[in-house]
Amino acid sequence: MSATDRPDVPAPAVDRALDALAAEAPPNLPELSAVLEAELASIAPVSPRRPIRQLGMFVAASLVYAGLLLAFLSLRADLSGLPMAWILGAGIAWFTGFSLATYFALVPARGTMRPRWRAALAITAVTSIAFIALGLDMHPSVPGVSLDYGMPRLLHGHGCLWLGLATALVPVVLGAIFLRGAVPVFSRWIAATLGAAGGCLGGLLLHMHCRIADGPHIGIIHGGVVVVAAALAALLVPRATDRPFK
Amino acid sequence: MADPRELMQRYQAGDASAFRELYALVAPRMLGYLNKLAKSRAVADDLLQQTFLKIHRARGAYVVGADPLPWFYSIAHRTFLDEARKTSRAVVRAGGDDLPEVPAGITGESADRADEPRADPELAKAALEALADLPTQQREAVVLTKLEGKSVAEAAAIAGTSVGAMKVRAHRGYEALRRLLGKKPKTATGEAA
């Protein structure tokens, strides 16, 4: 009988072999490397990461930045003619997306350093899809004041995409600084969530600034800011957060 | 036994001796983990040094009160994968010299094992050789769940994957081990020849 024809060994035998391996004494430790010894010789105190404090700083700094941008750009001209319920509802939705994505990206479960990657991934997916769908479906306008580009002139509104991404820049950079060295695994997912958070802030700014009120523009361009910001962050941010692990 | 959380706090406060205590406490198990992953003692030693250098440089990321061990293991996992990619998977095969050595004392074996009967070296060698033939992901899943005593959820978090994927990897790895050990001489698995 050839080796491949032999039957598998029974599970208890595998367990015995693994138990024998697990029961092996730990190997002798090597001496610390010269580099590490040198760094230990000049060790300095460091501040521990405080996720809740970082969350507060992140939200405050991001909102101040977005507020300054909005003050510089001015509020949308059709604001007074739009339904207040829609203005508030959409604004709250954008802010909720921003807050939840930020929370799941920055704050680990209690007693662990483990990122909440499943929740982060879920909120990234939900915000990416929901704001496109909602924008395509709900887009009130004020005749004569709001602009209507429609699908044929969709790309004429590309400035909103750049403005949204510029708004997302500060939160994403801040998040990358806060998470530096904290996420040896799942860093790409967490980076995407940071990008989604920044994208939601960008969407909130556009909601208050842009008077182009057709469905394709609000759905694809404004909602698309979340998708593009998440993708760019997933691509670029791990270079910074993973730096101590390289 | 010192609490890793407390040691991490002292270490963050600039106490180098806390780092050394932490190293003596967790490095033996991490070296065992890396040794089984890397299949070479020399590579495992190097990976351990790299892992602790990274821990040192990223120590500010530690969250007070959190268990640092899963974070350490994740960094070790990441270090292993980066190294494996860098060397284009040209990891040296385990030979007889690469088997875990007899303990020397200072860093010693963990207290909970001190009274256990000595492992069967032949059986351990057969398991290590079979383990070395597994694909990396399956090998890591078996090492974490069967040898390091981690739960599937803990192993998934260390390896940066989902619980479902970790379960599949561990199951496939275990089944592959059964096949591989079946190809070894029967005595290696403790069965009659």
Give pLDDT tens digits for B143-175. Answer: 999 888 899 999 999 998 999 999 999 999 988
Q: Which tokens sit at B179?
A: 């096949």
Residue whose C-alpha is closest to residue A115's, from A200, A197, A172, A182: A182
Confidence class of residue A18 from pLDDT cuts 50, 70 and 90?
confident
Residues of B with Cβ-Cβ distance to A11 under 8 angstroms? 178
* Residue A16 to residue B189, Cβ atoms within 8 A: yes
Q: How confident is the model at residue B119 (pLDDT cuts 50, 70, 90)?
A: low
A243 or B59: whose pLDDT is higher?
A: B59
- pLDDT of B1: 66
Q: B41 to chain A: nearest residue by CA?
A: A27
Residue tagged 């040296």 (tokens): B92
> What is d(CA B175, CA B180) in angstroms, rounded to the nearest whole number?
9
- Cβ within 8 Å of B, A 123-152: none
**Which residue is associated with the tokens 């030693």?**
B45
Nearest alpha carbon to residue A155 among A202, A219, A221, A229: A221
CA distance A102 to chain B (A): 17
Structure tokens at B168: 């599949």
- A147 — phi, psi (to 5°)? -100, 150
Tell me: the pLDDT tens digits for A98-130? 999 999 999 998 888 888 899 999 999 999 999
> Rounded CA gap, B53 and A206, in Å?
44
Least confident of A24-38, A152-166, A221-235: A24-38
Q: Quick check: A160 and A212 in contact, CB under 8 A?
A: yes
Closest CA in chain A for residue B171 = A11
Using the Cβ of A48 and the Cβ atoms of chain B, whether some distance falls under 8 Å is answered with yes
CA-nearest residue to A179 within chain B is: B61
Q: What angle do CA B36, B37, B40 make, to 5 degrees?
A: 70
pLDDT at A159: 94
pLDDT band at residue A1 under the 50/70/90 scheme:
very low
Which positions ≥6 away from B144 have C-beta within 8 Å? B33, B73, B150, B154, B155, B158, B159, B170
Q: Are A219 and A136 in contact (CB under 8 A)?
A: yes
> Nearest by CB to A24, which of B14, B74, B119?
B119
Q: Which residues, at least 6 apart from A150, have a Cβ–Cβ distance to it below 8 Å?
A: A214, A216
Is the Cβ–Cβ distance between B130 and B181 less than 8 Å? yes
Is B1 an 8 Å CB contact of chain A? no
A28 interfacial to chain B (CB closer than 8 Å): yes
pLDDT at position B178: 85
Residue A185 with chain B: CB contacts under 8 Å? 74, 77-78, 157-160
Contact (Cβ atoms closer than 8 angstroms) between residue B94 and residue B128 = yes
Q: How many CB pairs under 8 A join A and B?
A: 216
DSSP assignment letter at B118 = P
Assess A14–B contact: CB distance below 8 Å, yes or no: yes
CA B74 to chain centre: 11
∠B161-B165-B170 over CA atoms, to 5°? 110
Cβ separation B124–A20 shorter than 8 A: yes
**By mean pLDDT, which of A85-94, B3-12, B30-39, B178-187 is the weakest?**
B178-187
Residues 22-61 on B with a CB inside 8 Å of A are 23-24, 27-29, 31-32, 35-36, 41, 44-45, 48-49, 52-54, 56-61
- Are B24 and A41 within 8 A, CB to CB? no
Kindly state the tokens that stand for A13. 């035998």
- The answer to whether residues B72 and B30 touch, using CB atoms and an 8 Å cutoff, is yes
Cβ(A54)–Cβ(A178) below 8 Å: yes
The residue type at B33: Y
pTM of the model: 0.82
Coil/strand/helix, residue B63: strand
Task: Count CB-CB contacts under 10 A for residue A146.
Answer: 19
> Which residues on neighbouring strands pair with residue A212, listed in sequence order?
A147
Who among B16, B31, B71 is closest to A29 (CB)? Answer: B31
The predicted-structure confidence for B71-81, as pLDDT tens digits, reads as follows 999 999 999 98
- Distance (Å) from the alpha carbon of B146 to chain A's nearest alpha carbon: 7
Return the closest-CA partner of residue A180 out of A190, A165, A169.
A190
